[in-house]
C-alpha cells in the first residue's frame, strides 16, 4: 500500500477566506488556495480542480506509457493536457477532458487510440473518477 498526504489550513468563510496547501513531498509548500481561484481567475493560486487535472494528466501519461510498452511500442514522447470542469452553479466537478498526443514509432493511429483507451481504463485516477465524472479522451499520433 502506498500513501501520500496533503495538509490544508483554511481561515475564514468560503467566499472571503483562504487557505494554504502543503503536501508530504514538499513540492507544494504553502500553496495558496481560495474559492475565487476556483470560480474566477486563478491569480497565482491553485484549486482542487487544477490539482485533479494535474494528477489525472500525470497518472494517465504513466498508464499510457506502460500500455504502449506492453504492446512493444516504445513511446518517445507523450503529452497529456487535462481540463477539469467545475459546474460553479451546482458546485460539482462534471468532466475531465484528456487531450493526448504521442510520438510512438512503429504504430498507426488506430493502435495508438486503442492503447490510449486501454490506458484510460487502467489509470488509477481515471478509475477513482469514473462513475462520478465524465472522462473524455482525444488522441493524436504525431510523427
Same-domain check for residues 124 and 56: yes
**Which grid coordinates are listed for 80?**
497529456
pLDDT tens, 70-81?
999 999 999 999
Q: Is the pLDDT of residue 18 over 90?
A: yes
Q: Is the pLDDT of residue 108 over 90?
A: yes
Q: Is the pLDDT of residue 125 over 90?
A: yes
In a domain, 1, yes or no: no
- Structural domain for 26, as ranges: 6-39
Same-domain check for residues 21 and 55: no
With cell 486501454, the residue in question is 118
17/67 Cα distance (integer angstroms)? 43
- Secondary structure tally for the chain: helices H, strands E: 4, 6
Same-domain check for residues 58 and 112: yes
In a domain, 32, yes or no: yes
Please provide the average confidence, as pLDDT, over all residues in the chain.
Answer: 96
Q: What is the pLDDT of residue 143?
A: 82
Amino acid at each position: 500500500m502506498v500513501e501520500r498526504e496533503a495538509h490544508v489550513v483554511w481561515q475564514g468563510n468560503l467566499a472571503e477566506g483562504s487557505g494554504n496547501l502543503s503536501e508530504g513531498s514538499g513540492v507544494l509548500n504553502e500553496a495558496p488556495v481560495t474559492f475565487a481561484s476556483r470560480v474566477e481567475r486563478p491569480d497565482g493560486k491553485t484549486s482542487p480542480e487544477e490539482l485533479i487535472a494535474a494528477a489525472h494528466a500525470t497518472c494517465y501519461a504513466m498508464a499510457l506509457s506502460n500500455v504502449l510498452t506492453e504492446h512493444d511500442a516504445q513511446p518517445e514522447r507523450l503529452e497529456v493536457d487535462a481540463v477539469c470542469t467545475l459546474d460553479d452553479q451546482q458546485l460539482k466537478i462534471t468532466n475531465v477532458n484528456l487531450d493526448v498526443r504521442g510520438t510512438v514509432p512503429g504504430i498507426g493511429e488506430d493502435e495508438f487510440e486503442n492503447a490510449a483507451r486501454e490506458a484510460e481504463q487502467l489509470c488509477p485516477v481515471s478509475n477513482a473518477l469514473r462513475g462520478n465524472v465524465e472522462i473524455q479522451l482525444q488522441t493524436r499520433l504525431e510523427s
